[in-house]
Amino acid sequence: MSNIGTGRQDLRTPIARARGLGSGKSGTGHWWWQRVTSVALLLLVPWMIGLLVSLVGADLLTVRDVISRPWNAIFLAGFVIIMFWHIQQGLQVVIEDYVHTRWIEVALQLAVALGCVVGALASLYSLGHIAMIVASTQTS
Amino acid sequence: MPPSPESASPMATPERPQSRPLSPHLQVYRWQITMTMSILHRATGMGLALGAVGLVWWLLAVATGGESYDRAMAFIGSPFGLFLLAGFSLALVYHLLNGIRHLLWDAGWGFDIPDVYRSGWAVAVLTFVFTAAIWLAAWPGGAA
């Protein structure tokens, strides 16, 4: 069917015509990594809720101190990366499902992807900044 | 294939002489918990994406300190801030619990209709229970 309008016979094999279309773009990769980030967040979100609840009512110095403790800083960094990755994956599917004007769809996908990268980078910058403030106030 | 006499059914109309499968039309579809859970999963996911922006804003305020931090904490402690936080925590707990439901389906568990309805109601109830538990845990130490 793909030779309609060309007046020529399409010599490509069926797999060659399917490549790059539909799920042929990335196979099950998107679906699988969405599950990977889901499982990671299933572990990280309860920990994150516990951390935030423990910080209620704390002053700025305490908040910074808690955030900059090694394992807290490590898991917080992991949390923001995986969270923004998961947000990008989820919003991508929502846009694919509901936005049917091609240029708006592409523009939204770009905006979401770039926004998530900026969000993750800003979070990592903050975590590093907080750790350095705390380290600079500690006399070793 | 030309329409055969057998293909005519109660669904056939002069405009649609051939009976073809219809997609569920929301106005005439009987309500089921599954449809609500499904759309809420998407809605809360989109809401949580906005909430993530709030988390970044808070982290930046903690890093900057001084007036930025005071302003951020004053906003979070204000009635509107607490309202947003309440909605955010509800959405987070819901999306997390319903996400477990989705993961279990992906593993092939709980596909029978009674199971799907039961797990749906369990998520609905537990969302409020867990969210209330989080706020109770935060309350005594809170400035609110």
Q: What span, in angstroms and rounded, lies between the C-alpha atoms of B55 and B86?
A: 14
B32/B83: higher pLDDT: B83
Crossing angle of the two packed helices A29-55 and B79-106, in degrees rounded to 10? 140
Residue whose tokens read 């299933």? A42
Domain parsing of chain B, residue ranges: 25-138
Closest residue by Cα to residue B83 from B75, B73, B94, B92: B75
Task: Tell me if A87 sits within 8 A of B55, measured CB to CB.
Answer: no
Burial of A71 (0-12, 13-18, 19+ CB in 10 A): exposed
By the CB < 8 Å criterion, does B48 face chain A?
yes
- Beta carbons within 10 angstroms of residue B52's beta carbon: 21
By the CB < 8 Å criterion, does B137 face chain A?
yes
Interface ipTM: 0.84
The tokens describing B106, both together, are 């992906």
Q: What span, in angstroms and rounded, lies between the C-alpha atoms of B133 and B64?
A: 31
Burial of B125 (0-12, 13-18, 19+ CB in 10 A): exposed
Residue B7 has pLDDT above 50, yes or no: no
Output the DSSP codes for A5-45. Answer: TT-S---S-HHHHHTTSGGGTTTTHHHHHHHHHHHHHHHHH
Under the banding of pLDDT at 50, 70 and 90, the label for residue B25 is: confident
Is domain B25-138 annotated with CATH 1.20.1300.10? yes
Mean pLDDT is highest, among A1-5, B13-17, B38-42, for: B38-42
What confidence tens digit (pLDDT) does each residue in A32-41 have?
Answer: 999 999 999 9
What confidence tens digit (pLDDT) does each residue in A97-128 have?
Answer: 999 999 999 999 999 999 999 999 999 999 99
Are the beta carbons of A91 and B138 separated by less than 8 Å? no
User: A2: helix, coil or strand?
Assistant: coil
B92/A27: higher pLDDT: B92
CA–CA min distance B107, chain A (Å): 11
Residue A12 phi, psi dihedral angles, 5° rounding: -75, 155
Tell me how far the alpha carbon of residue B15 is from its chain's centroid. 38
- How high is the pLDDT of residue A23? 64
Which one of A28, A33, A38, A96 would you mutate to disrupt binding with B, by most B Cβ within 10 Å of its Cβ? A38
- List of domains in chain A: 28-137 (1.20.1300)
Q: What pTM was estimated for this model as a whole? A: 0.83
Are the beta carbons of B63 and A63 separated by less than 8 Å? no
Q: What span, in angstroms and rounded, lies between the C-alpha atoms of B62 and A72?
A: 15
